[in-house]
Amino acid sequence: MQTRRCLPTFARTLFAAPLLCTLFAATLVSHAEGPYKVLDHWKLADTGGWDYLLVDSAAHRVYITRGDHVDAVDTTSGKLIGTISGLHGTHGLALDPDGKVGYISDGGGNAVVVFDRSNLSTVATVPAGTNPDAIIFEPATKTVWAFNGRSKNISVIDAASRKVIATIDVPGKPEFGVADGQGNVYNNIEDKSEVLKIDARAHKVTATWPAGCESPSGLAMDIAGNRLFPVCDGNKMSVIDAGSGKILATPAIGDGPDAAGWDAKHKLAFASSGDGVLSVVDASTYKTIQSLPTKKGARTMAYDASTDRVYLVTADFGPRPAATAENQHPRPPMIPGSFEIIVVGR
């Protein structure tokens, strides 16, 4: 947060300017204060970019996709447990409720990789669409859903046979999805600013709704309250009735979000943003009750309901290289050893 000089334009007395400055400063401080704070920073020495992360509460670990591998980190110690290697360009993770296996969307390999959670070994590779990105487990049908960003469709994989049993075409680029456990899947269509409702048994889109904000990426769901929380560009989260598609509110969040979370106990929705802010929204009032500074680049997150903790990841970067004919938008290099997990809690 930048410090601004307080310059009142309408103050006419000697006492008005200090008073306005005090009120302005108090507003900024109160917006950052709230129930959550940064508890710890865990450094990981290995290199590589990152995308989604996912908590396995029962096993006390968090998984982080890191390009050609996935890190598994102990949430009690912050130490690296091990890695799942031999991948091509990972994006997301999902866990089977059986506690035995997990699923990785390996976008660079156009596949879903099944891994053994006991020893982090790869046990199967299932061909999917082009560049599977987000991935979820749908419990009512016991299927795995891979949302393919480039082929603009969804690969539905039977968890028992580990085979694709359906391919669902969607009207644009699918981003994150959620399942309500009753046979409905919801999916953000980023380039159309829409949200889809899909029948998980019939493999059909049953409703298409405006997202209520631009370029929705992360998505969380209040299953008990039947509400969806897409996070979008333009510093907005949308709140949508998952039955009717009605937009209930658009609370303010940070800039450049990529992930969302839901706390069923306290009725709070989270949005993590690239500007280094974790936004906390009270779902009873639809007001943002906290904008917690984290660190620039910490735009993906995972929420652990068992501990009421949020995990975010980011790193430090060097200067951006000059553009070339082959690469018009080069990314700045990550500084070795700077990758970290930010632990947020009460």
Q: How far is CA 95 from CA 41, 69, 182, 269, 286, in A?
A: 25, 17, 18, 22, 30
Reported as type and span, the H/E element at residue 25 is helix 16-32
Residue 30 lies in a domain: no
Averages of pLDDT over runs of 10 residues in the chain (346 residues) are: 37 41 44 87 92 97 97 98 97 97 98 98 98 98 98 98 98 98 98 98 98 98 98 98 98 98 98 98 98 97 98 94 90 91 98
Contacts of 75 (CB under 8 A, 6+ apart): 55, 60, 61, 62, 304, 307, 309, 311
Q: In what order do the strands lie in the sheet with 153-158?
A: 132-138, 143-148, 153-158, 163-169
Q: Scanning the structure block, which residue is given the tokens 């009512």?
A: 140
End-to-end CA distance of the chain: 22
**Looking at the chain, how many residues does it have?**
346
Residue 14 lies in a domain: no
Reported as type and span, the H/E element at residue 16 is helix 16-32
Residue 232 lies in a domain: yes
Residue 66 lies in a domain: yes
Residue 322 lies in a domain: yes
Of 223, 320, 321, 291, nearest to 263 by C-alpha is: 223
- Domain of residue 167 covers 35-345
Cα angle, residue 218 at apex, residues 35 and 51 outer, rounded to 5°? 95
pTM given for the model? 0.89
Number of Cβ within a 10 Å radius of residue 263: 19
Query: CATH no. for residue 256?
Result: 2.130.10.10
Identity of the residue numbered 201: R
Count of domains for the chain: 1
Residue 130 lies in a domain: yes
- Any long-range contacts for 164-167 (C-beta under 8 Å, 24+ apart)? 164/126, 164/127, 164/128, 166/203, 167/129
